Amino acid sequence: MHRRKHKLRKHRWYKGPHFGYTHNLQNPHEKLSFIKVDLPHLKRKFAMVKFMRSNWQKMLSYKNRWLFKEVNILTDINTTLLHFDNLPKIYKIRLERCKLNLSAALQRCESLHGKGNCEKQNAGVVQKKCPAGMERIGCCSCAKKCPDFFKSKGYYCLRSNIYKMDKFKQLKECQIQNKGQCMKVGEMYSPLCSKGFSQDGDLCRIDCPVGYKVIHRKCAKPDVISLGTPFSWIQSDN
């Protein structure tokens, strides 16, 4: 008996002589469509089940592929919001213009840390407040504020308060001018640094406060605490 064949030229997928399945891969948002099945020509009852099972697996594979892509995009957005402070100025301005709704993120934060204990960190992130006398470092840490005459930079206080020592060719001249307290610096003589300062080449640089670790021209801040993971904006918040 001659077998009649159906040609499905316009379809990407074709399964068997009498039934097939098509899906436009160029447009993932287009609804999946099944080709009409010519039932009279099915010889075995399990042929339809086999056909559906095969195409269902394909459908799931493509659905998962786009799902993973969407998850990766959302992960990139979350990472960008967490590193807001390190972004170029133009991107910070653009994120501010988005006017993301942070009320839901604030509620999530306060449900964990208590009402009034959270604050807006940037255009898309809410974080727990630092304890009194501490300042925020990055997204997730707090440390002591730098004392007066120090410049704060991340986890360090810069020893930026300096002054240049006077120089004398003769030791006797230096001692007369500085009540006998002088030291040799290279081929010249200079007075000792004032109290609270120490020599750094031909300069006198301020000493680190008590409890701070000296790292050359910086003082490492003590008592750094972690705030935990911040609460960022998610797509369902707007």
Contact of 123 with 113, CB cutoff 8 Å: no
Candidates 231, 228, 220, 224; CA nearest to 142 is 224
- The confidence score (pLDDT) of residue 218 equals 92
Stretches where the chain sits below pLDDT 50 are 1, 5-39, 41-42, 71
List C-alpha distances in Å: 126 to 41, 108, 109, 227.
Answer: 63, 9, 7, 11
List C-alpha distances in Å: 122 to 31, 92, 115.
Answer: 39, 9, 19
Query: With a threshold of 0.75, does the pTM exceed it?
Result: no
DSSP category for residue 15: B
pLDDT tens figures, 123-156: 889 999 999 989 998 888 999 999 988 999 989 9
- The confidence score (pLDDT) of residue 130 equals 93
- The confidence score (pLDDT) of residue 110 equals 93
Task: Give me the count of residues in the chain.
Answer: 238
Listed by start position, the domains of the chain span: 21-82, 99-138+227-237
Rounded CA-CA distance 6/230 in Å is 59
